[in-house]
Amino acid sequence: MHRAFGAAGVSCRLSLSTPENLTSNALCTAMSNAPANTAAARIIDGKVLSETVRNSLRSRIAAAGRPVRLDALLVGDDRAAGIYAMNQASTCAEVGIEYVLHRLPAGASADDIAGRVLLLNVDDAVRALMVHLPLPEGVDTERIQSLISPDKDVEGVNPANIGNVVYGRRSLVPCTALATLEMIESTGIQLRGKRCVVVGASNIVGKPIAVLLMRTEATVHSTNKFTPDLPALCRTCDVVIAACGVPQLLKADWIKPGAVVIDVGINRIDGPDGKKITVGDVDFAAVRGVAGWISPVPGGVGPMTVAMLLRNVVDAALR
């Protein structure tokens, strides 16, 4: 879940020119469910787009003739992290990626964790590496992430990889940011000169998205909780990205008619019947009547973020 204007996210590699980038046929498939009613925004289907990426990765791995492997470090017995690791192993297997999970006990110290990361850095058999969160209380997550070798950092959480985005290098960058850009570009919008706003400025989601958009020569506004008259600013923009962690914050009157709206938020709230439901940072039902394109939650940025991570693993392993 993204917390308000400061979310941590998943991360991956900027590789827009790779063969598995979405083809025009795939984009047509992803948008084939667009409603006939022109008053309703067309849906950017992250599930369909992500499957296109996965199919291409399967072909790349088969053609390479050598194993592709992801090594992941899990510390402690956090239930959610354990489930995520199991699901990740299954997801990797579906495209032909070997998954190796390294475990440390809940009582592992910061030095224990750092030492394991450094050992994996120098292991020639390890070419793609990530660390599952959360880490034990008292362990500096950013310090541990900064120790991951930039060449093996498939989540793009090492500050060196995040910084490389500014210089336009095709290095590892946060996956959620890359997934967002790919979904925007899948609509066919020409970003050069367009006004874009990123609502939320976390280090590995909001800020990298803003920088990626700047590299396209768009005019980009990065906002936070101190930004004055945020709805009025959003109404001037052709592209709106919500990544603030506030459930359904963005309403219809925030959106310029025909704008592209990407919802990065994942929030659990009480539904009308008292049961928990998942919603984004955008009031989907209301905004869909104004926007030209919109990504749903769930089924939007989430699946594409996973696809970007897989793509990064393949890139790291095969280069």
Would residue 200 count as lying in a domain? yes
The rounded distance, in Å, linking the Cα atoms of 49 and 56 is: 11
CA dihedral 61, 54, 310, 208 (to 10 degrees): 130
Give the predicted TM-score (pTM) of the model: 0.86
Instruction: Note whether 295 and 178 are same-domain residues.
Output: yes
Instruction: Note whether 299 and 228 are same-domain residues.
Output: yes
Would residue 309 count as lying in a domain? no
Among 166, 193, 190, 188, CA closest to 177: 166
Instruction: Note whether 175 and 245 are same-domain residues.
Output: yes
In what helix (H) or strand (E) does residue 33 lie, and over which residues does it extend?
Answer: none
Instruction: Note whether 236 and 298 are same-domain residues.
Output: yes
Instruction: Note whether 148 and 180 are same-domain residues.
Output: no
Instruction: Note whether 222 and 247 are same-domain residues.
Output: yes
Domain residue limits at 81 = 66-155
Q: What is the CATH number of the domain that holds 137?
A: 3.40.50.10860
Q: What is the pLDDT along the chain (319 residues), one digit of tens a residue?
A: 333 343 333 334 334 444 444 444 454 445 444 433 456 999 999 999 999 999 999 999 999 999 999 999 999 999 999 999 999 999 999 999 999 999 999 999 999 999 999 999 999 999 999 999 999 999 999 999 999 999 999 999 999 988 888 887 656 788 999 999 999 999 999 999 999 999 999 998 999 999 999 999 999 999 999 999 999 999 999 999 999 999 999 999 999 999 999 999 999 999 999 999 999 999 999 999 999 999 999 999 999 999 999 999 999 999 8
The rounded distance, in Å, linking the Cα atoms of 251 and 229 is: 14
Would residue 54 count as lying in a domain? no
